[in-house]
């Protein structure tokens, strides 16, 4: 935990004690006095005049009895942000439970201490190197410069991205610049009031499998401990200069490397009309440049969402998975008669895909598992084309991977082609660490198609390969839905769905998980449960994580786990139906939907809903 309140609380408690000697106080009065004292002390040390002024006004309103101001103070000062494998992420504002310059400066100091210590131990005498990126959210550039100032003052050779750029470009730069660490200031697809702080390790700071990837345990705890050890803010040294603002060529290098992923010698089709939306984020210019360089020149940007805007004015929630988020893109696609819609989230590390279903004539967004399978099959085809006829009978080398909650279809595709396959815990911090990784994905629209360039999910490199397989299908007179059907005919129809249960009380998550462990369901959707795996026990393949996995006699799979980032219980469902001919697919789809609905009903009953 980032303990920014300890010293501040003493001030509030002393003030409350003095007041109590004059007038008896209720517990709520004492709490308010503590909050006001903490807030005044914070405002006095806040290096940001805007948040200091806002906090001073909030204190005045709370002191005058404004209930909303008191609640805001309580939310801001009654807890501290926890630094974990996702770094930091919270609403902007003053106080230890918000994202602001004080919290960022302390986080940067703790990360710097960890980084310099790790490099000194692994490569004595080596000067640490770090690179910092940022998106276009409110205060992202300020937080990035704060971090650069702290790193530089500690003797770290520090590079700062030249402009707001996508998260995958920062992940690329960690490896391309041989850095020991990286920081990306972004809240990805969170609401506009949020910001965040994502940490990567490289070169000397972590073993080979994690270089260029997001942190995992135990690095999160080690960095958190260093943050806890940071003393008074006045003791954190800041440089006023000395870091290197990178030349814009770093973006050009990334664009060239990603565009070079295209294989026109094997997949020459380029006749494809694409509608692209960066969702008011930072990926638009980079994605268009990469697609053009790869030969896909007919790209229409959704004009209302083309430029970075930290307020995300046209969407309720800037996440391509959210209902309504693609409405403008689909309207644009209908107007220009496009073949494909590609949507990146605001920091461009995810990609959503939509196309016109030839059976219904309606535009439909594909599930992450559907895109994951299509990309997997296309990468298998690319590798086979690269080996050519001279490949002989050699066993293909490399590994395909996906998170455990993603579809089992990729495993069948990889296995049929002779490749190994691994399942990991949820999150690209795990997928990116798979040794020999050729391709990895997770159902939440994250795809890693070029792990040698970006050891993380990358919505821009994914867009290139998505365009490539969509153009190849069109050239053959098919849609990407036809390509999916071809996979189902070979490997079985894999149909999936999800159930998310949001709770106000986190204790309910434990209660629901305990209910399942004490009274395990005997069947789902009329199929008997044959295997129950408690993921909390861990295995040789997976570290322990809170979750339960059920396999039924008819191969239905149900995974139930608490979310790692939100107050939700998440349930992932998949059913498989084997089909022998294209004529059987419509009935198989209907049967799969009926089966999923029955499984959903049983999951709800098992959870006591």
Contact, 179 vs 202, CB < 8 A? yes
What do you get for the CA distance between the two ends of the chain, in Å?
34
Nearest one of 233, 195, 238, 185 to 89, comparing CA atoms? 195
- Strand, helix or coil at 72? helix
In the block, tokens 């220009």 appear at 336
Place of tokens 């309140």: 5
**DSSP assignments along 117-138, one per residue:** HHHHHHSTTPPPEEEEEE-SST
Residue 188 bears catalytic tag: yes
Instruction: Tell me if residue 341 falls in helix, strand or coil.
Output: strand
What ranges make up the beta strands (E) of 351-481?
351-356, 363-365, 399-403, 420-424, 437-442, 446-448
Token pair 């419509």 is found at 586
Catalytic residue among 188, 403, 496, 527: 188
- The answer to whether the beta carbons of residues 432 and 402 sit under 8 Å apart is no
Q: How far apart are CA 120 and CA 155, in angstroms?
A: 12
Conformation bin of residue 3: beta by default, left when phi > 0, alpha when psi is -120 to 50: beta
**Residue 228: burial class (beta carbons within 10 Å; 0-12, 13-18, 19+):** middle
How far apart (Å, rounded) are the C-alpha atoms in residues 279 and 227?
Answer: 34
Task: Give the count of beta carbons closer than 10 Å to the beta carbon of residue 234.
Answer: 7
CA distance 517 to 534: 8
Beta carbons of 481 and 358 less than 8 angstroms apart: yes
Burial 506-544 (b: 16+ CB within 10 A, else e): eebbeebbeebeeeebebbbebebeeeebbeeeeeebee
User: For residues 277 and 352, what is the distance between their CA atoms, to the nearest angstrom?
Assistant: 10
Q: What are the residue numbers of the active site?
A: 188
């Amino acid at each position: 935990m980032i303990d920014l309140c300890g010293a501040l609380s003493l001030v509030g408690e002393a003030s409350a004690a003095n007041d109590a000697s004059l007038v008896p106080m209720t517990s709520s009065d004492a709490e308010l006095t503590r909050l006001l004292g903490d807030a005044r002390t914070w405002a006095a040390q806040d290096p940001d005049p805007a948040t200091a002024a806002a906090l001073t006004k909030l204190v005045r309103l709370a002191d005058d009895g404004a209930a909303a101001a008191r609640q805001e103070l309580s939310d801001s000062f009654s807890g501290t942000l926890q630094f974990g494998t996702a770094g930091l992420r919270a609403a902007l504002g003053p106080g230890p439970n918000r994202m602001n310059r004080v919290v960022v400066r302390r986080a940067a100091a703790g990360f710097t201490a960890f980084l310099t210590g790790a490099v000194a131990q692994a490569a004595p005498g080596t000067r640490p190197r770090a690179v910092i990126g940022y998106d276009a959210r409110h205060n992202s550039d300020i937080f990035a410069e704060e971090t650069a100032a702290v790193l530089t003052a500690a003797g770290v050779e520090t590079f700062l991205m030249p402009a707001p750029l996508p998260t995958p470009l920062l992940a690329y730069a960690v490896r391309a610049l041989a850095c020991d660490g990286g920081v990306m200031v972004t809240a990805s697809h969170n609401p506009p009031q949020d910001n965040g702080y994502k940490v990567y390790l490289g070169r000397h700071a972590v073993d080979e499998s994690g270089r260029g990837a997001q942190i995992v345990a135990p690095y999160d705890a080690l960095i958190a401990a260093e943050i806890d050890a940071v003393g008074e803010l006045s003791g954190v040294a800041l440089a006023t200069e000395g870091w290197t603002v990178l030349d814009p060529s770093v973006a050009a290098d990334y664009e060239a490397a990603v565009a070079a992923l295209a294989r026109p010698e094997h997949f020459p089709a380029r006749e494809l009309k694409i509608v692209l939306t960066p969702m008011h984020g930072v990926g638009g210019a980079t994605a268009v440049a990469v697609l053009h360089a790869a030969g896909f020149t007919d790209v229409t940007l959704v004009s209302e969402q083309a430029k970075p805007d930290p307020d995300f004015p046209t969407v309720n929630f800037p996440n391509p998975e959210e209902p309504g988020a693609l409405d403008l893109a689909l309207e644009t696609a209908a107007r220009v008669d496009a073949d494909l819609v590609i949507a990146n989230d605001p920091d461009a590390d995810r990609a959503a895909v939509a196309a016109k279903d030839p059976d219904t004539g309606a535009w439909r967004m594909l599930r992450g598992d559907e895109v994951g399978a299509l990309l997997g099959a296309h990468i298998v085809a690319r590798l086979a084309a690269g080996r050519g006829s001279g490949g002989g009978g050699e066993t293909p080398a490399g590994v395909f991977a996906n998170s455990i909650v993603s579809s089992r279809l990729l495993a069948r595709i990889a296995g049929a082609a002779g490749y190994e396959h691994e399942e990991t815990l949820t999150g690209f911090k795990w997928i990116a660490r798979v040794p020999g990784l050729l391709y990895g994905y997770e159902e939440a629209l994250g795809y890693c198609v070029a792990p040698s360039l970006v050891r993380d999910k990358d919505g821009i490199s994914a867009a290139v390969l998505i365009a490539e397989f969509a153009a190849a299908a069109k050239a053959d007179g098919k849609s990407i839905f036809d390509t999916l059907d071809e996979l189902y005919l070979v490997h079985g129809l894999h149909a999936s769905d999800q159930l998310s249960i949001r709770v106000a009380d986190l204790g309910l998550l434990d209660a629901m998980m305990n209910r399942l462990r004490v009274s395990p369901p005997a069947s789902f959707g009329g199929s008997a449960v044959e295997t129950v795996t408690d993921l909390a026990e861990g295995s040789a393949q997976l570290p322990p994580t809170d979750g339960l996995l059920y396999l039924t006699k008819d191969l239905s799979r149900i995974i139930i786990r608490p979310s790692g980032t939100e107050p939700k219980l998440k349930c992932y469902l998949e059913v498989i139906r084997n089909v022998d001919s294209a004529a059987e697919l419509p009935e198989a789809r209907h049967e799969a939907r009926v089966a999923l609905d029955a499984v959903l009903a049983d999951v709800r009953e098992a959870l006591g809903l």
